[in-house]
Structure 1
Amino acid sequence: MGKIILTGDRPTGKLHLGHYVGSLRRRVELQNSGLYDETYVMIADAQALTDNADNPEKVRQNILEVALDYLSAGLDPERVTIFVQSQIPELCELAFYYMNLVTVQRLQRNPTVKAEIQLRGFAEGAAEGDTQQRQGIPVGFFTYPISQAADITAFRATTVPAGEDQEPMIEQTREIVHKFNAVYGPALVEPEILLPDNAACMRLPGTDGKAKMSKSLGNCIYLSDSPEEVKKKVMGMYTDPDHLRVEDPGKIEGNTVFTYLDAFSRPEHFAKYLPDYASLDELKAHYRRGGLGDVKVKRFLIAVLEETLAPMRERRRAFEQRIGEVYRMLEEGSRKARLKASATLRDVRKAMRIDYFEDRELIDTQEKQYRNEQ
């Protein structure tokens, strides 16, 4: 069996540095490694609609933004299949069948679903008549883990590059695969998650120091941000609130600037941009003992980020002049993805013994049976 990657993003806005270090950078590395036979990269518009149903235009417009971010980051449509989720109707059918293999109680225990239930007032003990409780969560969001299992298994993915926040989702997919294969026969492939190898990339914090970079919190640095925007956001980054003077000792732990340097800096950056230090460890040691100001460290981070983002901006500008070509790439990718998903669905239907019209043995056997009874 070949090694196959499935990964993707919800088109709810432009992609940011959290997406990049969490999985996008790794996707480009894997694409260039030659270690995988097939790679499918999904723009998950149907999943985005589970909690953006009242704003479909937002999702529609961001299909292109995500595609441009993919291309600017270095994904090559000649080597990976980039497709739009809603254009693969087989995924809906697979999800429908998988629903019979998962209990309501199991979905409620999924951390992603559980967090959303609590956010909307459905936690145990929620006050009667609570506004958020009345609002509720859409069934589509509630069954999000099942939909994701359909996405992964449709392409027989062996590997899913993702951040640690996706581990519960992948585990639920594995449970569904195991249950399906036990009940119907070995038709599906169990995937493995491929986590970032740099701990700082597991979950990059927002510029305000909050646990997660999020569009809704306004604490993102986007891949398409201008040099001026990047500089402004880095200079306003959360650091050590007790590091008031240059001579004061500073804390590295929880200091967003150093977390970003952990994720982005390489040894050669010091020779190019900060030759006073041989390594990040040396820079951290100086900050800890005092005598190193935040501004100097932030300027170094700006230089490091610019080295990453400048080539992306250039590629993005080139693709922005060829929008029709980008859409044709998505259309062709969706066509190829649908062929793959259709083959998996045929195997699933056969395993479930609902391939009535393709099963000539069934038809011939029943035909003989009824003839003999007459």
Structure 2
Amino acid sequence: LASYIYTPMQVADIFHLKVDIAHSGMDQRKAHMLAREVAPKLGYRKPVAVHHHLLMGLKSTRKAGYEMSIADLKMSKSVPESCIFIHDSPEEIRRKVKGAYCPPRDAENNPVMDIIRHIVFHEFKVFHVDRPAKYGGPIEFESFEELRQAYERGEVHPLDLKNALAEHLIKILEPCRRYFENKMDLVEEVKSLMTRKVD
């Protein structure tokens, strides 16, 4: 029953809020397309729909050959350990990434590789993996494909990959962290909304 009610509720939100641009992950595409379809019939303007890739949650353990829904795999604010927030401290980022699912030699069903592909290589031309000399020393990758091949050959250890990802994310999120340093009341308000239960 919920599946019949939820999508129309999402569409009603778009109209009630007078949304011009509906931006979300691909999991919301169905609601946005429905809004575009019914808008003229209900006397509303069609919203522009913009969709982006959904990052896998850090705890996602999708196995090859098994079908899982996007909702099962995506980062979710309702499961804080499954995602990185823009206001997370460097220590929180390192801890969360260290606990992430990162199967050896598997680049496809791997949330760490997913973040590197869609976030890190969007921000950096080179992905630097700093590792001890006894494990091959520092190594750099100029493309995701180069990293993927090396990882699938076992040339990069999952822990080294996680450590490198954490350091890159810390750099990417530094401006956000600085912004929120003096606005912790906003962070706490958002956290309270995430933990609030509806009766």
Structure 1-normalised TM-score? 0.40
Which of these residues, 47, 56, 62, is aligned with residue 205 of structure 1? 56
What letter is aligned with 1:236?
A: G
Displacement after TM superposition at 1:275 (Å): 4.8
Query: Are positions 1:193 and 2:57 aligned together?
Result: no
Gap regions ≥5 residues in structure 1? 1-107, 118-138, 182-187, 197-201, 244-249, 324-374
- Partner amino acid, structure 2, of 1:301: L
Match of 1:363 in 2: none
SS of alignment partner, residue 140 of structure 2: coil
**Whose Rg is larger?**
1
The answer to whether the Cα contact below 8 Å between 1:170 and 1:193 also exists between their aligned partners in 2 is: yes
Structure 2, gaps ≥5 residues long: 61-71, 131-137, 187-199
Contact 1:235 1:295 in 2 (8 A): yes
Corresponding residue number in structure 1 for 2:100: 237
Counterparts in 2 of 1:313 and 1:260: CA distance versus 1, 3 Å: same
How many angstroms does 1:298 deviate by?
1.0
Q: CA deviation at 1:283?
A: 1.5
CA distance in structure 1 between the aligned counterparts of 2:57 and 2:129, rounded to whole angstroms:
26
Q: How does 1:267-282 map to 2 (within 5 A)?
A: 267-270=124-127, 275-282=139-146
Say whether the 8 Å CA contact 1:234–1:302 is kept in structure 2: yes
Change (3 A) 1:191 1:146: closer
* Residue type at the aligned position of 1:205: M
In structure 2, how many angstroms separate the alpha carbons of the residues matched to 1:318 and 1:211?
33
| Pair 1:309-2:164 in alignment | no
> RMSD across aligned C-alpha pairs, in angstroms?
2.7
Q: 1:277-296, aligned counterparts within 5 Å?
A: 277-296=141-160
Relative contact order: is structure 1 or structure 2 higher (C-alpha 8 Å, sep ≥ 6)? 1
Q: CA deviation at 1:264?
A: 1.2
SS in 1 for 2:148: helix
Once residues 217 and 271 of structure 1 are traced to their aligned partners in structure 2, the CA distance between those partners, rounded to angstroms, is 29
Task: Say yes or no: does 1:253 pair with 2:108.
Answer: yes
In structure 2, do the counterparts of structure 1 residues 212 and 276 end up closer, same or farther at CA, with 3 Å as the change threshold?
closer
- Change over 3 Å in CA distance of 1:313–1:292 after alignment to 2: same
Q: Which residue number in structure 2 is paired with residue 120 of structure 1?
A: none
Q: Are the equivalent residues in 2 in contact too, given 1:269–1:304 (CA < 8 A)?
A: no
Partner Cα distance (1:216, 1:191) in 2: 27
Q: Which one-letter code corresponds to 2:141 in the other structure?
A: Y
TM-score by length of 2: 0.71
Task: Describe the SS at the equivalent of 2:56.
Answer: coil
**What is the SS of the residue equivalent to 1:195?**
strand
Q: What secondary structure is seen at the aligned counterpart in 2 of 1:203?
A: coil
Q: 1:210-257: per-residue Cα shift (whole Å, max 9, x none)?
A: 5022233342222221111110110111011xx3xxxxxx11111111
Residue 163 of structure 1 and its aligned partner are, at CA, apart by: 1.1
Counterpart amino acid of residue 163 in structure 1: G
Against the structure 1 CA distance between its residues 233 and 279, is the aligned structure 2 distance closer, same or farther, given a 3 Å change threshold?
A: same
User: Which residue is 2:78 aligned to?
Assistant: 216
Letter in 1 for 2:117: D
Equivalent-residue separation in structure 2 for 1:254 and 1:236 (angstroms): 16
